[in-house]
Amino acid sequence: MKPRQRVVLLALAAAGLSALATTLPAQNPTPVPLLLRGPTPLDQIAPAPRMTPMRNTSEKEVRNYPEQPPVIPHTIEGYQVDLNGNKCLSCHARSRTGESQAPMISITHFMDRDGQLLATISPRRFFCTACHVPQHEAKAPVPNDFVDIDTLLARSAPGGVRR
């Protein structure tokens, strides 16, 4: 094969490959559903996903890490939390827990920013939903491979399962 012929053949092969590459995504849209926005093209707006119901079991949920603000295991629809009142405290305030059997707000919530304990809830901790949120019965679009510290410690312990 002459060098000249080789160059022509190479150019033809390159042109064929590039043509294949440009036609491939149109024919086979498999990688697209992996995107969070679904198969809708970028210049169009996808239909909104269905609203999912709130988790309403009232069962305490395990924290993922010690400092996590506990999630709210019930609906809080229509609960007024503003300057006039705080519906959450109707059950979770210290004096209300006897009747409601709800967990009392943490004593850390009585502290001001200097660590000084106040007689009642600190103003900076008044707006519960700044940290505590209710949960939807929704499947996470992205899987989470977070491993908490207890699992890590157990793995390194003599009887731990090393995975």
Partner 1 sequence: MSTAESPERSSFWKRAYRFGWELWEVLRRPSSVFSLGVLVLGGFVAGIIFWGGFNTALELTNTEQFCTSCHEMRTNVFEELKSTVHFTNRSGVRASCPDCHVPHDWTHKIARKMQASKEVWGHIFGTISTREKFLDHRLELAMHEWARLKANDSLECRNCHSAVSMDITKQAPRAADAHQRFLFTGQKTCIDCHKGIAHRLPDMRGVPGWQ
Interacting residues with partner 1 (CB under 8 A): 56-59, 74-75, 77-78, 80, 83-87, 89-90, 93, 96, 99-101, 120-121
Residue closer to partner 1 by CB (options 6, 60) is: 60
Question: What minimum distance in Å lies between the beta carbon of 132 and partner 1?
Answer: 16
Q: Count of CB atoms within 10 A of residue 128's CB? A: 21
- Geometric angle at alpha carbon 95, from 89 and 100, rounded to 5°: 65
Residue whose CB is less far from partner 1, 87 or 132 = 87
Q: What is the DSSP string of 65-93?
A: STTSPPPB-S--TT--EETTEETTHHHHS
Residue whose CB is less far from partner 1, 78 or 141: 78
Query: Min. distance of Cβ 111 from partner 1 in angstroms?
Result: 17
Residue 159 · residue 95 · CB < 8 Å: no
| Short-list 74, 122, 136, CA closest to 100 | 74
Q: Outline where the chain has alpha helix (H).
A: 3-27, 89-92, 97-100, 149-156
Nearest 5°: CA angle at 62, between 36 and 152?
Answer: 80
Find where tokens 């157990």 sit. Answer: 154
Q: How far is CA 155 from the centre of its chain?
A: 25
Give the nearer residue to partner 1 in terms of CB position, either 68 or 120: 120
Rounded to a whole number of angstroms, the minimum distance from the CB of residue 60 to partner 1 is: 12
Nearer to partner 1, 59 or 114 (CB): 59
